[in-house]
Amino acid sequence: MGRRWSEVEVGETLPGLVLEMTATRVVAGALATRDFMPVHHDRDYANSQGAPDIFMNILSDNAYCSRFLTDWAGKEAIIRSLAIRLGVPSFANSELTWQGHVVAVWTEEDDPTEGWVEVALVATNDLGDHVTGVARLTLPR
């Protein structure tokens, strides 16, 4: 079970992920990643720092990217790298949308069972690009 590398094509679009980034999601993500910086759970504190609301922490960005990738690639996928550029903040009560597509597929000579996939991804909200990045994962051929 799970996706195989031979089924993946360059240009393939990953199923989009749209989430209402509620305050609950922001706080749940921050605490599940053990990030207790108050800008991620305390609205009064965030306001005092000039932010209109609490906002997502970076560990949660990585987590959602990982989920976005394996929602599509399945349980046999192995994520090898994830490089993201951080853009506009993701404040509580904004909608965040992940999109991605396959930009490359290849195999490596010294590994007869594994196939590589490179995915370009972006998470956007009403302010612009929150996260843009590139991930590499492998699947059984």
Partner 1 sequence: MEDFDGQIQALVGREVGTGEAPDPVNQPMIRHWAAAFEDGNPVYVDEAAAAASRHGAIVAPPLMLQTWTMATPKITGMAERGGSPVETDGPGFMAVFEEAGFTGTLAVNSEFEIDRYLHLGEIVTSSTTIEAVSEQKQTRLGAGHFLTWVTEYVDQDGEPVGRQRFRILKFRPEGVA
**Cβ at position 6, least distance to partner 1 in Å:** 16
Q: Which helix (H) or strand (E) holds 44?
A: helix 43-48
Q: Please tell me whether residue 67 binds partner 1 under the rule CB under 8 A.
A: yes
What is d(CA 129, CA 126) in angstroms, rounded to the nearest whole number? 9
Q: Which of residues 17-36 bind partner 1 (CB under 8 A)?
A: 25, 28-29, 31-36
Closer to partner 1 by CB, 124 or 131: give it.
Answer: 131
Closer to partner 1 by CB, 11 or 36: give it.
Answer: 36
Beta bridge partners of 92: none
Long-range contact set of residues 126-129: C-beta below 8 Å, sequence gap at least 24: 126/94, 126/95, 127/88, 127/89, 127/91, 127/94, 128/87, 128/88, 129/87, 129/88
Q: Which part of the chain contacts partner 1 (CB under 8 A), choosing from 7-15, 62-70, 94-102, 121-129?
A: 62-70
Q: Which of residues 38-57 bind partner 1 (CB under 8 A)?
A: 38-39, 45, 49
Structure tokens at 50: 């000039």
Q: Which residues bind partner 1 (CB under 8 A)?
A: 1-2, 25, 28-29, 31-39, 45, 49, 58-67, 70-71, 75-76, 78-86, 140
